Amino acid sequence: MNSMSIINPVYRRDNMAPFFILDDVFTGEELDAITKYCIDAGTYKAQVMQSRGAIVTDDKLRIADIMMHKVNQDNRWIFDRVVGAFETANRDAYNFELDGFNVFQYSEYNDKGAHYEYHMDVSFASVNDRFTIGRKLSLSIMLNEQAEFTGGEFQMIIDSQTIEKPITVPHKRGRFVFFPAFIVHRVAPVHTGTRRSLVFWALGPKFR
């Protein structure tokens, strides 16, 4: 660890960004193939984890259909492409110590009012370690066009000023949105149509 100064701290201008965007990692045809692969695999109703570790259905917090996909021979090409994007984002914006990942979540918000309220992707409670321990850098991939749904904005709260006016990340099909797993974020209620996305979490040791 570097020596710290109590009297003369260094105020840096290179603080981490709340989010980092990459576009055009997948082609339109590849996004079509990913979407078909996920739809064909099916979904189940999403749940949430309570502070004591219980997994429950809570429509006030989350209405969505999801499926967790572990790496296999059919989807390995997706993981391989995303690994490179993670490396780019981490190098250019965060410099976190990361180990990798072996699962992604497909999500559909296809009901009027489907949403996921404000939350973090990492838990600081030991009871939740089985599910969220080690998550450091999150990635949300926007799978479909904005014209296919209304509402469903991807929003973040990063300070007191954004509580009332959260940051809304502009939607674009195929957009990769990276952000630290401790950033508070949500998917706002969908009004019409279906919003589709993939989510990855890169794991790593404790921040230091």
Is residue 37 left, alpha or beta, with left meaning phi > 0 and alpha meaning psi from -120 to 50? alpha
> pLDDT tens string for the chain (208 positions)?
566 555 665 555 555 679 999 999 999 999 999 999 999 999 999 998 776 667 888 899 999 999 999 999 999 999 999 999 999 999 999 999 999 998 999 999 997 899 999 999 986 655 454 555 689 999 999 999 999 999 999 999 999 989 889 999 999 999 999 999 999 999 999 999 999 999 999 999 888 7
Residues 204, 99: contact at Cβ < 8 Å?
yes
Integer CA distances (angstroms), 69 to 4, 66, 101, 186, 198, in order: 43, 10, 11, 21, 10
In whole angstroms, what separates CA 2 from the centre of its chain?
32
Exposure string of 48-75, with b = 16+ CB inside 10 Å and e = fewer, is bbeeeeeeeeeeebbbbbbbebeeeeeb
The residue behind tokens 């009297």 is 7
| Residue 127 pLDDT | 47
The alpha-helical segments, DSSP class H, found in the chain are: 28-41, 76-89, 129-132, 161-164
Global model pTM greater than 0.85: yes
Q: List all residues 6 or more positions away from 33 whose beta carbon is below 8 Å from its beta carbon.
A: none
| Residue 111 pLDDT | 79
- Written as one letter, the residue type at 74 is D
